[in-house]
Amino acid sequence: MADWNKISYEEFEQLCYEIISSEGFYNITRLGGTGDRGRDLIAEKLSPLLHGSNEVQRWIIQCKRYTTTKLTIEDLAAELNKVRMHKPDYYLLLITNALNPNLYDWLQQVKTEYSFKIHIFGVDWLENQLQKSPLLYKRFFEKNDTYSHLFRVNPNTDLQIYTAGKMPTEAIRNSITWWRKELQNETKMLQKKIGFYHPEFAGCDHTGIYLSETVQTDFGMISQSDLVIAYLENREQFGTITEIMIAYSMNKQLAIFIDEDIKTEIKSNEYDEITEVNMDYYGEVYEKVFETNHICPCDLMNELKPIHMNNYWFMIEFLRLRQPNAHIQMTTKNSVIKDMYKYIEQTIK
């Protein structure tokens, strides 16, 4: 159990920001403080409708750290009245204790009177989030800030980039693979300030255990980035593809560089087979990627693998259809940094 007395109101808001960012929200803005008018955080979230279309949901999120008192009906009614003027689609209240039964019953009676949907998550939900993200617990409750600078958005950057590509089983904790180092060094020559998130600092070991200290951090980094850039060095990087698909569900700009060494030609009979069952396959992929919750990318990866015998390239083509503006380019180890640099340079102009 977390000791909520150990963090300040401001730290609790920041913790909520970190948690929300790992849940697929984007365009998150923090408004906490005097005069927030019931809005500690405002955010958007994409919700799939039909194939190829999404609905943008507008959320207002409040963060209430209660240690000696509890949320009352009067308190909640006052907050809901503040929220009315903003006309969100959803209102989410995060509190550090359990919901009072009388308050719960009252809310069930009145929630239809509001034009927005109301959710209240109490201490059990927050504790579960901390269990999934031990790194957050260390940062906020043990004041262990060792790695926080690796995961924090720099507000002074013109472009924040999440780099993907190394299979987590090959990742070395607290180390950066060669191409990430070179790319980060090269972009220092640009006139704009570029920030990087490198997921090797986390990495899942594929044991089947939800190592959310790493996985949730990765999702948080994706959600707070402007661009997801990947270098696919081998055909075994199917997990990277699924991570990129999750990134797309967060409405990210994508740039994927594929090494020529793993390029394969699809035979005509295989292509015909794909064409014949195209919609069935795409429907199944769509459902698994965008209509299912996945705590770990490994889960999604394992679900998608049986979909097609040539799943690696199938997923690339699926991504092309789902996001036509995704940049997908063949490259080599000798030219990948130059190719990435050129793409980033064009992006920030």
The single-letter DSSP state of residue 56 is: E
Query: Does the structure show a pLDDT above 50 at 268?
Result: no
Classify residue 257 by burial, with Cβ atoms within 10 Å: 0-12, 13-18, 19+: buried
Query: For the residues 294-323, what does the mean pLDDT come to?
Result: 63
Which pTM does this prediction carry?
0.54
Query: Does the structure show a pLDDT above 90 at 96?
Result: yes
How far is the CA of 136 from the CAs of 19, 157, 272, 342, in angstroms? 9, 23, 49, 36
What are 184's strand-pairing partners?
A: none
Q: Pick 146 or 178 by higher pLDDT.
A: 178
Query: Does the structure show a pLDDT above 90 at 308?
Result: no
- In the chain, list all ranges with CATH 3.40.1350.10: 4-146
Q: Whats the size of the chain, residue-wise?
A: 349
Share of the chain above pLDDT 90, in %: 19
CATH classification of 4-146 is 3.20.20.10, yes or no? Answer: no
pLDDT, averaged across the chain: 75
Residue 267 pLDDT level (bands cut at 50, 70, 90): very low
Query: Does the structure show a pLDDT above 70 at 81?
Result: yes
44-48, 202-206, 260-264, 299-303: which has the minimum mean pLDDT?
202-206
Query: For the residues 170-195, what does the mean pLDDT come to?
Result: 77
Query: For the residues 72-87, what does the mean pLDDT come to?
Result: 89
- In the chain, list all ranges with CATH 3.40.50.450: 149-347
Contacts of 185 (CB under 8 A, 6+ apart): none
Per-residue pLDDT of 142-163, as tens digits, reads 875 554 444 444 555 788 888 8
Query: Does the structure show a pLDDT above 50 at 334?
Result: yes
202-206, 224-228, 238-242: which has the minimum mean pLDDT?
202-206
Q: What is the pLDDT of residue 131?
A: 81
Residue 293 pLDDT level (bands cut at 50, 70, 90): low
CATH architecture of 149-347: 3-Layer(aba) Sandwich (3.40)
